[in-house]
Protein backbone atom coordinates (compact mmCIF):
# COMPACT_ATOMS: atom_id res chain seq x y z
CA UNK A 1 0.00 0.00 0.00
CA UNK A 2 1.62 3.32 -0.99
CA UNK A 3 1.82 6.00 1.69
CA UNK A 4 -0.55 8.17 -0.34
CA UNK A 5 -3.30 5.58 -0.15
CA UNK A 6 -2.57 4.22 3.32
CA UNK A 7 -5.71 3.94 5.39
CA UNK A 8 -6.00 5.94 8.58
CA UNK A 9 -6.88 4.17 11.82
CA UNK A 10 -7.66 5.69 15.24
CA UNK A 11 -7.17 3.64 18.39
CA UNK A 12 -8.22 4.90 21.83
CA UNK A 13 -6.39 3.61 24.89
CA UNK A 14 -3.48 2.38 22.80
CA UNK A 15 -0.70 2.80 25.36
CA UNK A 16 -1.31 -0.50 27.16
CA UNK A 17 -2.68 -4.02 26.83
CA UNK A 18 -5.12 -4.72 24.00
CA UNK A 19 -5.02 -1.20 22.50
CA UNK A 20 -1.25 -1.30 22.14
CA UNK A 21 -1.39 -4.67 20.34
CA UNK A 22 -4.16 -3.36 18.08
CA UNK A 23 -2.21 -0.20 17.19
CA UNK A 24 0.89 -2.24 16.38
CA UNK A 25 -1.00 -4.77 14.22
CA UNK A 26 -2.97 -2.15 12.26
CA UNK A 27 0.26 -0.23 11.61
CA UNK A 28 1.96 -3.44 10.46
CA UNK A 29 -0.98 -3.98 8.09
CA UNK A 30 -0.09 -0.62 6.50
CA UNK A 31 -2.46 1.73 8.32
CA UNK A 32 -1.35 5.14 9.50
CA UNK A 33 -2.34 4.89 13.15
CA UNK A 34 -3.27 7.78 15.44
CA UNK A 35 -3.43 6.86 19.13
CA UNK A 36 -4.74 8.49 22.30
CA UNK A 37 -4.83 7.96 26.05
CA UNK A 38 -4.98 10.24 29.11
CA UNK A 39 -1.28 10.09 29.99
CA UNK A 40 0.62 12.26 27.52
CA UNK A 41 3.90 10.69 28.65
CA UNK A 42 2.63 7.22 27.82
CA UNK A 43 1.34 8.39 24.43
CA UNK A 44 4.76 9.89 23.62
CA UNK A 45 6.57 6.73 24.77
CA UNK A 46 4.27 4.47 22.76
CA UNK A 47 4.57 6.59 19.61
CA UNK A 48 8.35 6.47 19.97
CA UNK A 49 8.34 2.72 20.54
CA UNK A 50 6.17 1.99 17.49
CA UNK A 51 8.06 4.43 15.25
CA UNK A 52 11.20 2.58 16.36
CA UNK A 53 9.61 -0.48 14.73
CA UNK A 54 9.32 1.52 11.50
CA UNK A 55 5.58 2.00 11.88
CA UNK A 56 3.64 5.10 10.84
CA UNK A 57 2.16 6.15 14.18
CA UNK A 58 1.35 9.44 15.89
CA UNK A 59 -0.94 10.48 18.69
CA UNK A 60 -2.00 12.91 21.37
CA UNK A 61 -3.66 12.95 24.76
CA UNK A 62 -7.29 11.92 24.90
CA UNK A 63 -9.82 11.47 27.66
CA UNK A 64 -12.77 9.70 26.06
CA UNK A 65 -15.02 11.10 28.82
CA UNK A 66 -14.58 14.63 27.46
CA UNK A 67 -16.47 15.75 24.36
CA UNK A 68 -13.91 18.56 23.86
CA UNK A 69 -11.01 16.09 24.01
CA UNK A 70 -12.70 13.76 21.55
CA UNK A 71 -13.32 16.62 19.08
CA UNK A 72 -9.72 17.86 19.38
CA UNK A 73 -8.34 14.33 19.07
CA UNK A 74 -10.24 13.47 15.88
CA UNK A 75 -9.40 16.85 14.33
CA UNK A 76 -5.71 16.34 15.19
CA UNK A 77 -5.78 12.91 13.53
CA UNK A 78 -7.38 14.33 10.37
CA UNK A 79 -4.85 17.20 10.26
CA UNK A 80 -1.97 14.75 10.66
CA UNK A 81 -3.02 11.78 8.50
CA UNK A 82 -6.28 12.65 6.67
CA UNK A 83 -9.85 11.40 7.03
CA UNK A 84 -10.53 8.32 9.11
CA UNK A 85 -11.03 4.82 7.66
CA UNK A 86 -10.92 2.71 10.82
CA UNK A 87 -11.95 3.55 14.38
CA UNK A 88 -11.14 1.20 17.25
CA UNK A 89 -12.94 2.16 20.46
CA UNK A 90 -10.74 0.37 22.95
CA UNK A 91 -10.31 2.71 25.95
CA UNK A 92 -12.11 1.36 28.96
CA UNK A 93 -12.01 0.74 32.68
CA UNK A 94 -13.05 -1.98 35.07
CA UNK A 95 -15.29 -1.20 38.00
CA UNK A 96 -17.80 -2.72 40.31
CA UNK A 97 -18.21 -4.18 43.77
CA UNK A 98 -21.21 -5.10 45.89
CA UNK A 99 -23.89 -3.19 44.00
CA UNK A 100 -25.70 -2.00 47.14
CA UNK A 101 -22.43 -0.46 48.33
CA UNK A 102 -21.14 1.28 45.24
CA UNK A 103 -21.62 5.01 44.79
CA UNK A 104 -23.27 6.73 41.86
CA UNK A 105 -19.95 8.33 40.91
CA UNK A 106 -18.39 4.95 40.18
CA UNK A 107 -21.45 3.87 38.18
CA UNK A 108 -21.35 7.09 36.19
CA UNK A 109 -17.63 6.94 35.47
CA UNK A 110 -17.72 3.34 34.25
CA UNK A 111 -20.69 4.05 31.97
CA UNK A 112 -19.10 7.29 30.74
CA UNK A 113 -15.69 5.74 30.06
CA UNK A 114 -16.94 2.52 28.46
CA UNK A 115 -20.25 3.40 26.80
CA UNK A 116 -20.82 7.13 26.28
CA UNK A 117 -17.29 7.30 24.88
CA UNK A 118 -18.20 4.88 22.09
CA UNK A 119 -21.05 7.14 20.95
CA UNK A 120 -18.87 10.27 21.29
CA UNK A 121 -15.95 8.85 19.32
CA UNK A 122 -18.12 7.23 16.63
CA UNK A 123 -20.18 10.40 16.15
CA UNK A 124 -17.06 12.55 15.87
CA UNK A 125 -15.32 10.17 13.46
CA UNK A 126 -18.41 9.93 11.24
CA UNK A 127 -18.56 13.75 11.04
CA UNK A 128 -15.21 15.48 11.69
CA UNK A 129 -13.38 12.30 10.68
CA UNK A 130 -15.26 12.23 7.37
CA UNK A 131 -16.22 8.55 7.56
CA UNK A 132 -19.89 9.11 6.73
CA UNK A 133 -18.88 10.43 3.31
CA UNK A 134 -16.86 7.33 2.42
CA UNK A 135 -18.01 4.13 0.79
CA UNK A 136 -15.88 1.98 3.10
CA UNK A 137 -15.26 2.26 6.82
CA UNK A 138 -14.73 0.19 9.94
CA UNK A 139 -15.85 0.87 13.49
CA UNK A 140 -14.63 -1.79 15.92
CA UNK A 141 -15.67 -1.61 19.55
CA UNK A 142 -13.80 -3.55 22.21
CA UNK A 143 -16.65 -4.78 24.40
CA UNK A 144 -16.35 -7.93 26.55
CA UNK A 145 -17.95 -11.29 27.21
CA UNK A 146 -19.33 -9.25 30.14
CA UNK A 147 -21.36 -7.49 27.44
CA UNK A 148 -23.31 -10.71 26.90
CA UNK A 149 -23.31 -12.38 30.33
CA UNK A 150 -23.71 -10.89 33.79
CA UNK A 151 -20.53 -10.65 35.85
CA UNK A 152 -20.87 -10.96 39.62
CA UNK A 153 -19.55 -7.81 41.38
CA UNK A 154 -19.32 -6.13 37.98
CA UNK A 155 -22.78 -4.62 37.42
CA UNK A 156 -21.58 -1.22 36.12
CA UNK A 157 -18.99 -2.86 33.86
CA UNK A 158 -21.45 -5.49 32.56
CA UNK A 159 -24.11 -2.82 31.95
CA UNK A 160 -21.65 -0.61 30.06
CA UNK A 161 -20.46 -3.47 27.84
CA UNK A 162 -24.02 -4.70 27.14
CA UNK A 163 -24.66 -1.11 26.04
CA UNK A 164 -21.68 -1.22 23.70
CA UNK A 165 -22.96 -4.44 22.13
CA UNK A 166 -26.44 -2.92 21.65
CA UNK A 167 -25.03 0.27 20.13
CA UNK A 168 -22.84 -1.82 17.81
CA UNK A 169 -25.77 -3.88 16.51
CA UNK A 170 -27.97 -0.82 15.93
CA UNK A 171 -25.29 1.29 14.23
CA UNK A 172 -24.11 -1.72 12.23
CA UNK A 173 -27.57 -2.25 10.81
CA UNK A 174 -28.01 1.48 10.18
CA UNK A 175 -24.74 1.85 8.28
CA UNK A 176 -24.75 -1.52 6.49
CA UNK A 177 -25.89 -0.06 3.13
CA UNK A 178 -23.01 2.46 3.20
CA UNK A 179 -20.06 0.05 3.26
CA UNK A 180 -19.17 1.04 6.82
CA UNK A 181 -19.16 -2.01 9.10
CA UNK A 182 -19.62 -1.80 12.85
CA UNK A 183 -18.64 -4.74 15.05
CA UNK A 184 -17.81 -5.51 18.66
CA UNK A 185 -14.93 -7.71 19.72
CA UNK A 186 -15.65 -9.38 23.06
CA UNK A 187 -12.56 -10.53 24.94
CA UNK A 188 -12.94 -12.87 27.91
CA UNK A 189 -9.98 -12.77 30.30
CA UNK A 190 -6.92 -11.16 28.67
CA UNK A 191 -3.58 -10.75 30.45
CA UNK A 192 -3.11 -6.95 30.69
CA UNK A 193 -2.58 -4.39 33.48
CA UNK A 194 -6.39 -4.13 33.72
CA UNK A 195 -6.66 -7.88 34.30
CA UNK A 196 -4.16 -7.58 37.15
CA UNK A 197 -6.24 -4.81 38.75
CA UNK A 198 -9.38 -6.90 38.38
CA UNK A 199 -7.71 -9.86 40.13
CA UNK A 200 -6.60 -7.54 42.96
CA UNK A 201 -10.20 -6.34 43.36
CA UNK A 202 -11.63 -9.87 43.57
CA UNK A 203 -8.85 -11.02 45.92
CA UNK A 204 -9.79 -8.18 48.30
CA UNK A 205 -13.55 -8.81 47.95
CA UNK A 206 -13.23 -12.57 48.60
CA UNK A 207 -10.43 -12.29 51.21
CA UNK A 208 -8.03 -14.45 49.22
CA UNK A 209 -4.84 -14.11 47.19
CA UNK A 210 -4.41 -12.90 43.61
CA UNK A 211 -2.91 -16.30 42.72
CA UNK A 212 -6.04 -18.06 44.00
CA UNK A 213 -8.20 -15.75 41.89
CA UNK A 214 -6.00 -16.45 38.87
CA UNK A 215 -6.48 -20.18 39.40
CA UNK A 216 -10.25 -19.80 39.84
CA UNK A 217 -10.64 -17.68 36.70
CA UNK A 218 -8.36 -19.87 34.56
CA UNK A 219 -10.38 -22.95 35.62
CA UNK A 220 -13.54 -21.30 34.20
CA UNK A 221 -11.94 -20.95 30.75
CA UNK A 222 -12.26 -24.12 28.63
CA UNK A 223 -8.93 -23.27 26.94
CA UNK A 224 -7.40 -23.23 30.42
CA UNK A 225 -5.65 -19.87 30.16
CA UNK A 226 -6.14 -16.16 29.61
CA UNK A 227 -6.13 -14.89 26.02
CA UNK A 228 -3.29 -12.61 24.94
CA UNK A 229 -3.64 -9.01 23.70
CA UNK A 230 -2.23 -10.15 20.32
CA UNK A 231 -4.98 -12.76 19.99
CA UNK A 232 -7.60 -10.03 20.47
CA UNK A 233 -5.78 -7.72 18.06
CA UNK A 234 -5.79 -10.49 15.45
CA UNK A 235 -9.58 -10.36 15.18
CA UNK A 236 -9.54 -6.56 15.06
CA UNK A 237 -7.03 -6.72 12.20
CA UNK A 238 -9.25 -9.16 10.35
CA UNK A 239 -12.37 -7.02 10.83
CA UNK A 240 -10.43 -4.03 9.47
CA UNK A 241 -9.52 -5.92 6.30
CA UNK A 242 -11.34 -5.91 2.94
CA UNK A 243 -12.51 -9.53 3.16
CA UNK A 244 -14.45 -8.69 6.34
CA UNK A 245 -16.78 -6.41 4.35
CA UNK A 246 -19.85 -8.58 4.97
CA UNK A 247 -19.34 -8.94 8.71
CA UNK A 248 -21.34 -6.21 10.42
CA UNK A 249 -23.50 -5.69 13.51
CA UNK A 250 -21.81 -8.66 15.20
CA UNK A 251 -20.32 -9.18 18.65
CA UNK A 252 -17.54 -11.77 18.31
CA UNK A 253 -15.79 -13.41 21.26
CA UNK A 254 -12.06 -13.97 21.75
CA UNK A 255 -12.26 -15.86 25.02
CA UNK A 256 -10.94 -19.43 24.90
CA UNK A 257 -14.51 -20.74 25.07
CA UNK A 258 -15.51 -18.77 28.20
CA UNK A 259 -18.59 -17.46 26.41
CA UNK A 260 -20.65 -19.56 24.01
CA UNK A 261 -22.74 -16.87 22.32
Ligand X SMILES: NC(=O)c1ccc[n+]([C@@H]2O[C@H](COP(=O)([O-])OP(=O)(O)OC[C@H]3O[C@@H](n4cnc5c(N)ncnc54)[C@H](OP(=O)(O)O)[C@@H]3O)[C@@H](O)[C@H]2O)c1
Active-site residue, from 104, 157, 206, 238: 157
- d(Cα 240, Cα 189) in Å, to the nearest integer? 23
Which residues bind to ligand X, rule: CB under 6 A?
Answer: 12-13, 15-19, 37-39, 42, 62-65, 90-93, 113, 142, 144, 187, 189-190, 192-195
Number of other CB atoms surrounding residue 59 within 10 Å: 26
- Report the residue number, 6 or 190, with the smaller CB distance to ligand X: 190
**Minimum distance of ligand X from residue 167's CB (angstroms):** 14
157 classed as catalytic: yes
**Minimum distance of ligand X from residue 156's CB (angstroms):** 12
**Minimum distance of ligand X from residue 173's CB (angstroms):** 23
- Report the residue number, 13 or 172, with the smaller CB distance to ligand X: 13
**Minimum distance of ligand X from residue 19's CB (angstroms):** 5
- d(Cα 8, Cα 81) in Å, to the nearest integer? 7
Phi, psi torsion values for 62, nearest 5 degrees = -155, 125
Among candidates 229, 224, 217, which has minimal Cα distance to 153? 217
CA distances from 3 to 8, 127, 206, 256 (A): 10, 24, 53, 37
- Report the residue number, 8 or 142, with the smaller CB distance to ligand X: 142
- Report the residue number, 172 or 188, with the smaller CB distance to ligand X: 188
Burial (Cβ within 10 Å: 0-12, 13-18, ≥19) of residue 47 = buried
- d(Cα 144, Cα 258) in Å, to the nearest integer? 11
| DSSP conformation class of 179 | T
Q: Residue 159 is inside which H or E element, if any?
A: helix 155-175
**Minimum distance of ligand X from residue 187's CB (angstroms):** 4
- Report the residue number, 23 or 126, with the smaller CB distance to ligand X: 23
Among candidates 20, 6, 3, 247, which has minimal Cα distance to 139? 247
Active-site positions? 157
Amino acid sequence: MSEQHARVALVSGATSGIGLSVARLLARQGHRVFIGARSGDNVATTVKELRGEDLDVDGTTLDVRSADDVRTFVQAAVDRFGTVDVLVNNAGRSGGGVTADIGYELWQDVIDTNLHSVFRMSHEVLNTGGMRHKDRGRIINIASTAGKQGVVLGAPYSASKHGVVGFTKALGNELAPTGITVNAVCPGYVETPMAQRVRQGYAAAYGTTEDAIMEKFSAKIPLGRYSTPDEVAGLVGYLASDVAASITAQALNVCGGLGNF
